[in-house]
Amino acid sequence: MSMSVRPAARRLLALGAAVALAATLSATARAQDAGSAAEVTTTDAPATTTTTTTEAPVTTTTGASTTATSESAAAQAAKLAISAAVVGGPFLVGERVPVEVTITNTGDADATTVKAGEYTLSGSYFSIDSAEWGDLHTWQGKGITVPAGESVTVTVHGEAQRWTGAVPVARFHLQLVNGWADSFDLTIPLVDPASATDDAAGLVYGDRNANGAPDAGEGIAGVNVNVYASGGEVLRTRTDAEGRFRFAGLPVSTYTLSIYEAPDGWVVEGGNTELTVDGSGSAANLVLRAVRPLSDRLTAAMRFTQDTYRVGDQAEVEVTLTNRGTEDVTGIKAGCDRSGGEGPELRDVDLGDMAWNASGVTVPAGETRTFTFTGSISEETAEHGAVSWPCDFGPGDGGPWGYPSANAWARVVGAGPGDSAMHFFHDRNDDYTSQPGEQVGDLVVGLADAISGKLVAKARTDADGRLKFVDIPAGPYEVRVYGAWKHYSNWPFVIYVGTCRHCQSELAVRVVPSDVVTPEEVAPGEPGTGGGVPTTTTAPAAAGAAGGGGLADTGASVLGLAGLGALALLGGLGAVLWSRRRTAG
């Protein structure tokens, strides 16, 4: 396939395929897999190549034993050999390597149910995705027929995602019903990453005049730019005052350049880009265009048509889209429940014309349109004390960066009061975990009802950065930080209190210093409120509470936590958001 695969996805595919293939290969052989169905050609050995179908012929038998006997006889009469050759090269670590595999039958009978595969004998791990092998794959494929006196050639693509000090040597093998038929060892020509270095550098600009080219003053400062190596290492920098960035002295290899968001709402096109750092300087003058977000001209609002529901009820969500621009916005679809369907969201939702497989809706310039979704109230919503349905809206299957988003809330009867323990830390080394010395003590934190917006309680962290809200009514709450600190994300940080499976877990909350000092709000029952009754008591978490060093950062937003019950990790949440999960209409 020509489509590149993100490093994390490649590793997951390779790992899954390796485990499955190990069941087919011998105990001493490690199997492996890494993207398009093989192109098959058949030739009269050794005559000119011609294309032919690889469907096995239909055999009529009177029983299973007859089929096994005929296949065994054909296999004995057939004489198979396999060879392989790399097309081009040498290649960088992480680069797709085309391998031409030829299977030849010099016997006097057709060979049926022929399969093939590969595994690494030595050197850096080399893998070929199962989809590349198609019908030839040793455990997923149905096998092919190689006619007597002919050969079949396929081109498959593999990758070495990490350099371990030597080039890969891969064994390509044939498999029949009654065992292995032949094998061929192939050295994969890879470039040692340490053999040379090069820079990855470029400009991020905001195309204010929409002319498709950078102009003076259009560079965007302060953009977070990440580079991911094939082996998983991450390098980070920011653009300077002119919008420029540079990663100097990178070992030659393939990388992924990642920019998720830019200041002031700018959306960077090609924010996830494959880089080839090969020593030629080809990655040293990148130009990344940023455009204004769709949310500048299209706004969204959502609400449930009832304030309270019970489990089993059918709920209706009203969506209002307003186009403040001068051009129609067409093909608008809804990207909902990006958190993965494990929390208090609607179930069995009908998105109508805004479903991923529908045509989308149009909002004319300067006008407002209202649409309706329907869904059911699940048992999980009662455990959380509320139902939530977050969506973003935009054309096609893009986004969600820059798309307008909204969240509908309603209360669900069921759960009683609960507690919520939290741990606040300043992640100075940016590793997404709480380390000794990063805890933020004496921090004042408020808990506000996410539906009504009213503050219900306040607490102050102890020396270890911990606090605990006690006996809070079930439901969603926004965690508000006061003083010279703020939450790491630019989104409101929402948690759930209730009887849900994760609601009692201690949450690690990442905070950063703020240029703006946020004044404290007055909680119910505090002096100056007119004598109201407190809705909660607060206390530090017990010494044995969950959490501590190495806690994962939730780093999440309203959109993410609506479905995860405040459990999403920051990195995982970014990956989820890119997936553009939709509910079919």
Q: What is the pLDDT of residues 533-581, one digit of tens each?
A: 333 344 333 333 333 333 333 333 233 333 333 333 333 333 333 333 3
> Residue 179's pLDDT is what?
78
**CATH 2.60.40.10 domain locations along the chain:** 7-59+67-187, 193-292, 295-412, 418-554
pLDDT confidence band for 340 (50 / 70 / 90): low
pLDDT confidence band for 7 (50 / 70 / 90): very low
Residue 503 to residue 343: CA distance in whole angstroms? 11
Omega prior to 189 cis, within 30 of 0 = no
With helix as H, strand as E and coil as C, how does 307-339 read? CEECCCCEEEEEEEEEECCCCCEEEEEEEECCC
Locate tokens 């002295």: which residue?
249
Higher-scoring residue by pLDDT: 339, 146: 146
Higher-scoring residue by pLDDT: 181, 527: 181
Residue of 384, 411, 433, 386 lying closest to 550 (CA atoms):
433
Judge contact between 391 and 409, C-beta under 8 A: no
Higher-scoring residue by pLDDT: 280, 14: 280
What's domain 7-59+67-187's architecture?
Answer: Sandwich (2.60)
Question: What's the whole-number mean pLDDT along residues 495-521?
Answer: 92
What's domain 295-412's architecture?
Answer: Sandwich (2.60)
> Residue 347's pLDDT is what?
92
User: 3-class DSSP state for residue 12?
Assistant: helix
Question: What's the whole-number mean pLDDT along residues 419-439?
Answer: 92
Residue of 475, 460, 439, 465 lying closest to 537 (CA atoms):
460
Higher-scoring residue by pLDDT: 430, 33: 430
pLDDT above 90 (res 57): no
pLDDT confidence band for 342 (50 / 70 / 90): low
Higher-scoring residue by pLDDT: 359, 501: 359
Segment 224-260, tens digit of pLDDT: 999 999 878 899 999 999 999 999 999 999 999 999 7
The CATH number fitting domain 193-292, selected from 3.10.105.10, 3.20.20.70, 1.10.132.50, 2.60.40.10: 2.60.40.10
Residue of 419, 413, 338, 337 lying closest to 379 (CA atoms):
413
Mean pLDDT check: name the lowest of 179-183, 301-305, 389-393, 509-513. Answer: 179-183
Segment 483-492, tens digit of pLDDT: 999 998 878 8
pLDDT above 80 (res 345): yes
Residue 198 to residue 255: CA distance in whole angstroms? 12
> Residue 62's pLDDT is what?
35
Average pLDDT for the chain: 81
pLDDT above 90 (res 132): yes
pTM of the prediction?
A: 0.67
pLDDT above 60 (res 526): yes
Question: What's the whole-number mean pLDDT along residues 6-28?
Answer: 36
* Cα–Cα–Cα angle for 113, 117, 122, rounded to 5 degrees: 155
The two structure tokens encoding residue 418? 């609960």
Judge contact between 379 and 392, C-beta under 8 A: no
The two structure tokens encoding residue 436? 């000794």
Residue of 297, 253, 261 lying closest to 394 (CA atoms):
297
Segment 295-323, tens digit of pLDDT: 999 999 999 999 999 999 999 999 999 99
Judge contact between 231 and 288, C-beta under 8 A: no
pLDDT above 60 (res 133): yes
Residue 147 to residue 52: CA distance in whole angstroms? 11
Question: What's the whole-number mean pLDDT along residues 159-186?
Answer: 93
> Residue 527's pLDDT is what?
64
pLDDT above 80 (res 65): no
Higher-scoring residue by pLDDT: 37, 233: 233
Omega prior to 90 cis, within 30 of 0 = yes
Segment 76-117, tens digit of pLDDT: 589 999 999 999 999 999 999 999 999 999 999 999 999 999
Mean pLDDT check: name the lowest of 158-167, 261-270, 285-294. Answer: 261-270
Higher-scoring residue by pLDDT: 250, 414: 250
Question: What is the b/e burial string over 218-251, where b = at least 16 CB atoms within 10 angstroms of the residue's CB?
Answer: bbbeebebbbbbbeeeeeebebeeebbbebeebb
Q: What percentage of residues in the chain have a pLDDT greater than 90?
A: 65
Residue 382 to residue 312: CA distance in whole angstroms? 10
Residue of 381, 376, 403 lying closest to 391 (CA atoms):
403
What's domain 418-554's architecture?
Answer: Sandwich (2.60)
